[in-house]
Chain A
Amino acid sequence: MQARIPTVPERLPLRARWDNFQRRYAPYIFISPFFILFAIFGLFPIVFSLYLSFHAWQPASGLGSMTFVGWRNFTDNLTDPTFWQSLKNTGIIALESGIPQHLIAIPLAFAINMSLKRVQGLVTALYFLPYITSVVAIAVIFVTIFSWQYGVLNVVLTSLHSLPLIGGLFPAENINWLGNRNFIQPAVASVVVWRYVGWNVVLYLSGLQAIPRDLYEAASVDGASVWQQFRYITLPLLRPIMFVAITLTLIGNLQLFEEPYIIAGDSGGIGNMALTTVMYMYRTYNFYSDAGLAAAMSWLLFILIGALTFLNNRIFGKSRLSGSD
């Protein structure tokens, strides 16, 4: 941030006055596009959706058919077993994909941080690749990999089963990943993990690289073991970035739509097990064309996201970010 430099000359000729006028209003004009667009496509829709959530409305039958129904959309959602199931699915997939993401990303970031400078950029880029790939493409590839009878994954797993010692860890039979109620959620979650590990690696790597090396050197001179160095230097200093990464995962995972939608389709997969809340909202709007119900659902989800983010802040975010502005 620069200090403000007040420039107030003593007397102003006409030309300078015009310049001042122009200078005073130019910045407002330059930033106005954002505020105009946000008003039309951001603020208005949100206010409208709040209004809508208290009304029953089939969009196809025109604005005139909107009728006020009070809290009924909310109570309808909260008494709808499918809505609760979608929340449960979202939560389970969020945990099954969220926790492994970070448990894998942190060691990988460590390993990259240890390796030679030359390869760091290359390896990081490689891990980041899934993040910049179209979700549709990813999901389509994984559907073939997960295929029950002919999928690469099952072939690998069942062949590992015949290994000595660790063979017992692997299934003897092909797993019907996408057609079995118990396996579709882990299947979707693992696609999410695969996609986001690299993203988290980059975040953690930047956190690790910000830790001054001489801290470790000083600690090892004082006789701290490697574990103690990790416990008392790395972990505390990684905490702010961990908080950011976990917050982003939380918010993103609660709004999961694309991966389960492509893998399981409109139907939400076997027994609706891969139906996330955003998918159900889309279904409510698009197929049941009940805009009010869908709007109420989005607000319920919003409240849930807000509450969980707040909890996460209280538990985890005590040390606020040291603003690097």
Chain B
Amino acid sequence: MAVAYSSAPNTARRSIGKPLSRGAALALLVLGALLTVLPFYFMFVFATHSRGEIFNLPPPTWFGHNLTTNYDSLLGRVPFWRNLWNSLYLAVLSTVTTLFFCSLAGFAFAMYNFRFRDQLFAMVLATLLIPGALNIVPFALIMQAFGWIDSPRALWVPGMASAFGIFLMRQYIGSAIPKELVEAARIDGDSEFGIYRRIVLPLCGPALATLGLVTFINSWNNFLGPLIIFRSVETYTAPLALRTLQGLVNTDWGALMCGVALTVVPLLVVFAFASRQLIEGLTSGALKG
């Protein structure tokens, strides 16, 4: 993709609104936005064209009439709704378990003074520094040994208490929930878990939403994990099913694009409603770390 490197106006700031540089900035933003959106646009356009129409000169730039044919062809090749369901099942389980264990641990790190607390928390953060590539081979071997190949457990169990999630919850609980509230509940004779369930959890709404979204998206888009674990088209998640379609000798690109669109649209919908939270959640590790 050819991208304009030059014309970057390092000139104006918000305070100094020189019309010229403002115009240049706007032009740059529009160009960037076009390059960002176009692939999505072509995804939808191609999903409505037959294979023959996609590979034509010039390629189609407007919607065709082949959507239903593509859809039927897609379902004829892979059980795509089943694959989407597998993706959803995995994402929901990942999200629910992650929210529970991370908020519990985050609460402990934020609200208690216990021995080795800071060292243990540093350990949690240190695990974030381990490159994922190191874990690929042993992950595959361990799941083989557990007999968890082809079972979604292999993907949601290891990440139940993620370091990133604990970090996020600790930040939030430490800054948003007054310690006095916990002390008061304790004086009222509430048990420690009761405090978590009745006082802390209801107040964690925003952080839970952010962490939930991040976990869900990461699970939905995960490719390498499922690639290692799932071996039959019945257990495939949506991205794996797409990959299979693409790998066929006679790829039906229209059907494939239809599947791609079905995989991406739910994400776009979620993102439309919660883009701000998602962006903050995904980048918080980098920005607060």
Contact = CB atoms under 8 A, between A and B. Distances in A.
Contact of A126 (B36, B132, B161): B36
Nearest to A143: B246
Nearest to A151: B59
Contacts of B250: none
A32 B45 CA distance: 50
Interface string A29-49: 011011101101110111011
Interface in A154-180: 155, 157
A144 B252 CA distance: 12
Contacts of B287: 203, 206, 241, 244, 324
A114 B25 CA distance: 8
Nearest to B2: A157
A285 B160 contact: no
Interface stretch (B62-70, B189-197, B204-212): B189-197
Contact of B39 (A123, A145, A282): A145
A295 B131 contact: no
Interface stretch (A74-82, A133-141, A310-318): A133-141
Interface in B232-289: 238-240, 242-243, 246-247, 253, 256-257, 260, 263-264, 267-268, 271, 275-276, 278-279, 282-283, 286-289
A28 B286 contact: no
Contacts of A7: 183
Nearest to A6: B113
A70 interface: no
Nearest to B213: A132
A123 B33 contact: yes
Contact of A46 (B32, B37, B46, B135): B135
B101 A33 contact: yes
Contacts of B238: 134
Given A37-B161, A41-B142, A42-B127, A213 B36 contact: no
Nearest to B112: A27
Contacts of B138: 44-46, 48-49, 52, 295
Interface in B67-118: 101, 104-105, 107-109, 112-114, 117
Contacts of A281: 133, 136-137
A126 B39 CA distance: 13
B288 A325 contact: yes
Contacts of B134: 46, 49, 298-299, 301-302
Nearest to A157: B2
B3 interface: yes
Nearest to A210: B287
A4 B113 contact: yes
Interface in A110-136: 110-115, 121, 123-136
Interface in B1-36: 1-3, 5, 8-17, 21-22, 25-26, 28-29, 32-33, 35-36
Contacts of B220: 134
Nearest to A209: B14
A232 interface: no
Interface of A: 1-2, 4-5, 7, 19, 22-24, 26-28, 30-31, 33-35, 37-38, 40-42, 44-46, 48-49, 52, 59, 100, 103-104, 106-108, 110-115, 121, 123-138, 140-145, 147, 149-153, 155, 157, 190, 193-194, 197-199, 202-203, 206, 213, 216-217, 220, 226-227, 229-230, 241, 244-245, 248, 251, 254-255, 257-258, 262, 265, 277-278, 281-282, 285, 291, 294-295, 298-299, 301-302, 305, 321, 324-325
Give 3 nearest A-B pairs by CB, closest first: A45-B138, A107-B8, A26-B192
